[in-house]
Amino acid sequence: MQPFRLTPACKDYLWGGTRLKTVYGKRTALPVLAESWELSAHPDGDGVIACGEFAGTPFSRFAAEHPEALGGNCAGAKEFPILIKLIDAARFLSIQVHPDDGYARRVEGGRGKTEMWYVVDCEPDAFLYFGFEREISAEEMRRRIADHTITEALHKAPVHKGDVFFIGAGTIHAIGAGILLAEIQQNSNTTYRVYDFGRVGADGKPRELHVDKALDVTLRAPAPAGAPGAEMLAETADFRLRRLAKCDYFTVDALALSGNYRREMTGDSFVSVLCTEGGAALSCGGEEFPLRAGESLFVPADAPGFALTGNGELLLTTV
């Protein structure tokens, strides 16, 4: 089976900007483009295969009908395991938290949400919130939400291009204004909004908070620094391959390409290839697929090995 592109689902959340359209050329009639769901089989934003023999097929249907394309690591899975997004935050997102698998199954009937952020670009003074500065009680957390001082208790992390943040389930967080990032996460859209800076939605009403559920799941302590499994994998004249994170749900590698890179497929997992800067050409099975910044390809687990040629920055995600 050959690689293919997906037409992403587009989201116009109120905090979004325009860089995904102006810089990455995403096509949408939406005036604001907050998120582009590059690899998604989620019902809230199912991708559609854009080329090849399965063109026009919703990705969720393809994943259900072709388990061989997902790989042995997905054997027995009831649904596609991950979701990959590009996110452009012109304004701060809400302070929020995601449940773990156990709580999500019990309360929401779905998956939890662990995620990883790779900062593609950012404004010079950009920052985000990531965990607490110190351990706090549930009572203090509830009080600070009510009296609008919750951000004073959060860890304020400066952000630079190329930074990686691993957001385990239960970690309170918020992406800051002026940040463009790639998010790799579990296939879940369950979010508990803790605080929203007093904003109102499109209906003119304050957006709903989920304080009780957030208190149930939040780890009220500083978040662990670094990402699990991070290490340098290989460095040659043509490329540098760095592991950004490896956890129970996904493995993400960053490829800095300045020539040629080849990867063999083992049948264990598909590979999502997302170009974040520059450009490359992916060759597989006698076909060539150009990749510009902001574009991605799904390489099925049963595809032959592939080669990447060019000068660019790419994220390679497997499960």
Q: Is 148 annotated as a binding residue?
A: no
Active site residue 91: no
* 173 marked ligand binding residue: yes
Answer yes or no: is 98 a known binding residue.
yes
**C-alpha to C-alpha distances, 170 to 130, 182, 201, 217, 277, nearest whole angstrom:** 11, 20, 25, 5, 31
Distance CA 67, CA 140 (A): 47
Residue 186: count of CB within 10 angstroms of its CB:
24
Answer for the pair 282, 51: CB distance below 8 angstroms, yes or no. Answer: no
104, 191 contact by CB (below 8 A): no
Long-range contacts of 44-48 (CB under 8 A, 24+ apart): 44/9, 44/189, 45/8, 45/9, 45/11, 46/9, 47/6, 47/7, 47/8, 47/9, 48/6, 48/7
Catalytic residue among 193, 242, 243, 292: 193
Binding-site residue numbers for Zn(2+) are 98, 115, 173
Binding-site residue numbers are 98, 115, 173
Please give the positions annotated as active site: 193
